[in-house]
Structure 1
Amino acid sequence: MTPEAVPALLLTGARLVGAPSGEPVDVLLRDGRVAAIGAGLAGAPGTAGADRVALGGRTLLRGLRDAHVHMAQWALTRRRLDLSGARSVEDAVSLTVARLTADARARSSGSGAGVLVGMGFRDGLWPEPPTARRLDEGLRAAGHGDAAVFLMSGDLHSAWLSTPALSRLGRAGHPTGLLREDEWMPLMNDLEHVPAHRLDAFVDDAARAAAARGVTTVVDLEIDDTLRSWTRRVATGTDVLRVAAGVWPDHLDGAVARGLATGDVVPGTGGLVTLGPLKVISDGSLNTRTAFCRDPYPGRSGAAGDRADGHGLLTVAPADLVRLMAEAHRHGLACAIHAIGDEANRLVLDAFAATGARGSVEHAQLLLDGDAQRFAALGVVASVQPEHAMDDRDVADRWWPNRTGRAFALRTLLDAGVTLALGSDAPVAPLDPWLAIAAAVHRARDGREPWHPEQRISVTEALDASTGGRAVPRVGDRADLVVVDVDPHVADAATLRAMPVSGTLLGGRWTWGPHGR
């Protein structure tokens, strides 16, 4: 639907975010834009014929933007076995067996062979490493010895496979059954042969769930030809989000051949899809103990693949990173470069300096002293996921000892003048910006004490970093808006995480709320 085809809408009795005690105002939306904001607009010029929705004093802010998602993986994960609660190999095997047994009963066909994909295990603190042998033993004991089981880590950087699953992926005889980084990530999209139309339906469902949480825009960094996938999805009716479609190196030439630069609208998408940045992964992750760090990881914990002198892993050579970024920059693409360890972040900043590229560091979880100032000087955005700090605080204390004061250092980055963009990295964390906002503001979850509270940021700062730089609507803005029942500035921690969203608008039309359910 074009902006001109969207009926004019008058929102009455709105309180703009950050002014909970202020007088309510009316907000006129016309042609997909905020046309007027003021008291008593009813009956004013331009409001004739406008639909009217009374907000009753609810809070209005600009639509939320998740700056880092993997949309297809998130859509699939919403249907997969959840392993996030496993605290050991035994826990994970028990959850796996229970799901296989339940699935077999539902099919009324006995146990027999099956295929199962799970997501979310975090073995950084487990007393023993995950291995195919331990998984096979548990499956055989429960009568599921032929099952092909694929269990993905919570950070997506490793996977734990049963022997039949290893065979399916051509990895029979693997020494541990725990595939990490380059031996795993190219296989991620081969686990389930989901037809495109079915996957698109899953993505549409996930997109509508995101809209129900106030999301209007996502940056999709899926390992996929995202331009093709999103063009197809919009054509078949997925229209509740704006999508910046990221490009991986394998698809860079195709994007260049189209003559598109970052921010350009992708033809055939009704303006909903734009070209996003080039995405490159430069190192591993914390939970997999492959984030590339200046200091070595502490001695062996028994986790598979750990080395007593290991500093982590670079997944792209610095010279190759510079070449890729220079090519992208030459053709008008921004760069979104994954860096988690402090040495990886240093090298990525070096590459931004060498190429003059614009863009972001994705994650920026551990920084060297002084590198926040380098972010600011280079104009590099820190695209961060605050909920990861809540998931990883204990793992960080274990594997980055005496360094966590500069981990997930949001306050340090902001004080240095760095622009923050908040996201989820879904499926690593749920696609729900309120979780990220609450984690950034409170640095606590589950009743625990705040972790490094000196790195907290304010509600205003967190909202601005979740709305593209400014949360308060202004005349002339695109009418991508969210209505919430509680002003976030006065919400307690629990309410902020579970913020009740009563309406979401994209270009002035409801994607959730009075006419969008």
Structure 2
Amino acid sequence: MTEPADLVILNGRIFDGRVRTQDTAVAVAGDRIVRIGSDEHVRDLVADGTSVIDAAGGLIHPGFVDAHVHAVFAGVERLSLDLTPAQTVEETLDLIRAGAQRAGSEWLTGGGWSHELFPSPTRQTLDAIVPDRPVALSDAGHHTLWVNSKALELAGVDRDTPQPHNGHIHRDADGDPTGYLNETASELVGRVIPPATDDEMHAGLLNAQQYLWSLGVTGWHEAILGEFNGKADCTPAYLRAIADRSLKSLTSGALWVPRGLTLEAVPALVTRFIELREDNRMLGFDTSTAKAMIDGVPHGETAALLEPYCNHSDDGFAGELHFDEETIRAFVTQLDAAGFALHLHIMGDRGIRVALGAIEAARAANGSGSRHHIAHLSMVQPDDARRFGPLGITANIQGLWAAPDPFVVDLIGEERMQHGYPFRTMADSGADLAMGSDWPVSPADPWLAIHVTVNRWAPLPPGVPASPAAAGAQPPTLDAEHQSLTLEQSLAAYTSGSAELVLDRPGRVRVGERADLAIASVDPFALPPERIHSVRTATTIVGGEVVFEA
């Protein structure tokens, strides 16, 4: 006799992690999928104690797996001062005022402000709101700090402070710091900011987990484990949540390779990483990935380019790498030999070329090795995009970014922007695809990112009206003709592609697999492509347990 199911989902349409099938129903017992088929076939497993969910025609799919996220940082930020909801200058300043009025620690910290609203933020703006307490606010990209005078004073940053390597202290006409710090310059203040406590990080992780569940995200990869830019190592938060079983989602994390690592220090770093990997594995946390930022970001002119930035045609400035090329080749080869997967942040086309050369050298020295992945892919020359497949490199896509960016185009020009995010070229080269949000750098909603990978234009944020001229018009796209992905490719990347890469699991709707599932509000395959962004998550299931219902 067949045992009844604990949970049955009916009246949907199944995407199995690779393709959309004809099946409409799923049965779950414990934490496993036990039957897939038609409503009639699966309804046989319904008994008195079975929970039944009507998918109402929505898509039943594997839970999304975010292959690049900063969940703990995002959760802590959500519980402190989150500026991401602001759509105007005044809304941003109002949130800062409200944050300053709340009781808390000596420092006022948070983040999420927009470069489009504040292209050149100043300490005086923050001084007018918080004159007697240090303030440090990360931009939405979390590569820049906006600080007030008190924060600069406590950090000892003044007109005589030298510019750090691949960082920039912005100064006014008199030579004094403006309070706008890019890349490694932000660490000058970051090192004096009191880091979040273990309790704050644990609370942030659980807050992030709840929020990600509301978006259908059932697992993820924490992209930085280690001290970074004044933020404490969040590994203890994961180990605590795993031990007390409050972390129900499957997760993994990447050990942080600090910027500025020298060639001589590489062997010691590899030895230390091997020890950490084993220690964490014994406690149930997979940290078999190493994360390095090869360069910075175009917004701060810290991404490493092959040709100068548009406003530096006279002096030839094209950004810098965070490490010298010999060191990059050394740590990539040695970590690869030690069995680590490399997770590389790269935004500039020179950074891409250097990293591809390093991985090629590692493959020649060590064999096929681990599944390395490169995230962001903002600027990639066509010939380099075609190297991903032959080198066995996974494209770790932040799909929401693959749309025209007026701020960046002024820095790099239209032609180089059109070389950005060449997802289809990589896929055609044989590269595997995974997807992630880089939250809190950008929104964590997978359906928004999938919309952009299919359409190559980004929908306006809620509450922002389209201009009359744009009403009904096709928005500008980023090479949609040649680089858009299909809905099927995009969904596969954000489900099974990411699960295979960062969780070492199939991420499929199949009998015997763990029941990490999500139900969409509609079947996106039945929508016109321009409406994909309207899809929402109706229900999320983690290990057979319903953890979110809209």
Superposition TM-score, scaled by structure 1 size? 0.83
Give distance in 2, aligned partners of 1:465 and 1:228: 29
Give distance in 2, aligned partners of 1:218 and 1:157: 22
Q: What letter is aligned with 2:152?
A: L
Matched with 2:472 is none
Task: Rate the CA distance shift 1:409–1:396 in 2: closer, same or farther, 3 A.
Answer: farther
- Pairwise CA distance, 1:237: 4.0
- Does residue 1:463 correspond to 2:491, yes or no? yes
Matched with 2:266 is none
Q: What letter is aligned with 1:76?
A: V
Contact 1:114 1:146 in 2 (8 A): no
Q: What letter is aligned with 1:9?
A: L
Match of 2:398 among 377, 380, 385: 385
Q: What letter is aligned with 2:332?
A: M
Mapping of residues 181-192 of structure 1, within 5 Å: 181-185=183-187, 188=190, 191-192=193-194
- Does residue 1:135 correspond to 2:147, yes or no? no
Task: Rate the CA distance shift 1:156–1:102 in 2: closer, same or farther, 3 A.
Answer: closer
Mapping of residues 119-158 of structure 1, within 5 Å: 119-123=111-115, 129-130=120-121, 134-136=122-124, 138-140=125-127, 142=128, 144-158=130-144
Task: Rate the CA distance shift 1:230–1:37 in 2: closer, same or farther, 3 A.
Answer: same
- Does residue 1:291 correspond to 2:303, yes or no? yes
Task: Rate the CA distance shift 1:187–1:490 in 2: closer, same or farther, 3 A.
Answer: farther
Q: What letter is aligned with 1:230?
A: Y
Output one character per residue of 1:96-152: Cα deviation in whole Å (capped at 9) or x when no partner: 653454456566x9xxx97433423444796x733xxx422x345x46432422132
Match of 2:94 among 91, 98, 107: 98
Give distance in 2, aligned partners of 1:483 and 1:27: 11
Q: Which runs of 4+ in 1 moved over 4 A?
A: 18-24, 46-50, 83-87, 94-97, 103-107, 172-175, 185-190, 492-495
- Pairwise CA distance, 1:383: 0.7
Task: Rate the CA distance shift 1:143–1:216 in 2: closer, same or farther, 3 A.
Answer: closer
Matched with 2:521 is 485
3-state DSSP of counterpart to 1:219:
strand
Task: Rate the CA distance shift 1:168–1:345 in 2: closer, same or farther, 3 A.
Answer: same
Matched with 1:303 is none
Give distance in 1, aligned partners of 2:436 and 2:33: 25
Q: What letter is aligned with 1:11?
A: I
Contact 1:373 1:416 in 2 (8 A): yes
Mapping of residues 318-357 of structure 1, within 5 Å: 318-356=325-363, 357=369
Give distance in 2, aligned partners of 1:102 and 1:135: 18
Give distance in 2, aligned partners of 1:14 and 1:315: 48
- Pairwise CA distance, 1:322: 1.9
- Does residue 1:211 correspond to 2:213, yes or no? yes
Mapping of residues 44-443 of structure 1, within 5 Å: 51-55=50-54, 56-78=56-78, 79-82=80-83, 91=89, 97-103=93-99, 115-123=107-115, 129-130=120-121, 134-136=122-124, 138-140=125-127, 142=128, 144-173=130-159, 174=161, 175-176=176-177, 177-185=179-187, 188=190, 191-224=193-226, 225-249=233-257, 253-257=271-275, 260=278, 266-269=281-284, 273-299=285-311, 308-356=315-363, 357-358=369-370, 359-390=372-403, 393-401=405-413, 402-443=415-456
Output one character per residue of 1:332-364: Cα deviation in whole Å (capped at 9) or x when no partner: 111111111001000000011111253101112
- Does residue 1:10 correspond to 2:8, yes or no? yes
Give distance in 1, aligned partners of 2:339 and 2:20: 45
Give distance in 2, aligned partners of 1:385 and 1:411: 14
Task: Rate the CA distance shift 1:229–1:471 in 2: closer, same or farther, 3 A.
Answer: closer
Count of residue pairs the alignment pairs up? 481
Contact 1:385 1:424 in 2 (8 A): yes
3-state DSSP of counterpart to 1:283:
coil
Output one character per residue of 1:315-335: Cα deviation in whole Å (capped at 9) or x when no partner: 011211222222222221111
Task: Rate the CA distance shift 1:259–1:278 in 2: closer, same or farther, 3 A.
Answer: closer
Task: Rate the CA distance shift 1:275–1:194 in 2: closer, same or farther, 3 A.
Answer: closer
3-state DSSP of counterpart to 1:299:
helix
Contact 1:437 1:459 in 2 (8 A): yes
Contact 1:12 1:26 in 2 (8 A): yes
Quote the RMSD (CA, aligned, Å).
3.4
Contact 1:120 1:155 in 2 (8 A): yes
Contact 2:27 2:42 in 1 (8 A): no
Give distance in 2, aligned partners of 1:503 and 1:341: 38
Contact 2:290 2:341 in 1 (8 A): yes
- Pairwise CA distance, 1:180: 2.1
- Pairwise CA distance, 1:307: 8.3
Give distance in 1, aligned partners of 2:351 and 2:202: 35
Output one character per residue of 1:342-389: Cα deviation in whole Å (capped at 9) or x when no partner: 010000000111112531011121111211111111010111212123
Output one character per residue of 1:428-480: Cα deviation in whole Å (capped at 9) or x when no partner: 10222122111111222225333332222111111011002388622233221
Task: Rate the CA distance shift 1:481–1:95 in 2: closer, same or farther, 3 A.
Answer: closer
Q: Which moved more, 1:178-187 or 1:196-205?
A: 178-187
Task: Rate the CA distance shift 1:246–1:23 in 2: closer, same or farther, 3 A.
Answer: closer
Matched with 2:169 is none
Output one character per residue of 1:262-288: Cα deviation in whole Å (capped at 9) or x when no partner: xxx83334xxx4224100111110111
Give distance in 2, aligned partners of 1:74 and 1:498: 24
Superposition TM-score, scaled by structure 2 size? 0.78
Contact 1:64 1:466 in 2 (8 A): yes
Instruction: Tell me the percent identity.
Output: 24
Give distance in 1, aligned partners of 2:311 and 2:277: 50
Contact 2:254 2:289 in 1 (8 A): yes
Output one character per residue of 1:16-57: Cα deviation in whole Å (capped at 9) or x when no partner: 13999986633222353322212333575x777762313244
3-state DSSP of counterpart to 1:403:
helix
Give distance in 1, aligned partners of 2:299 and 2:319: 11
Matched with 1:500 is 536
Matched with 2:229 is none
Task: Rate the CA distance shift 1:510–1:276 in 2: closer, same or farther, 3 A.
Answer: farther
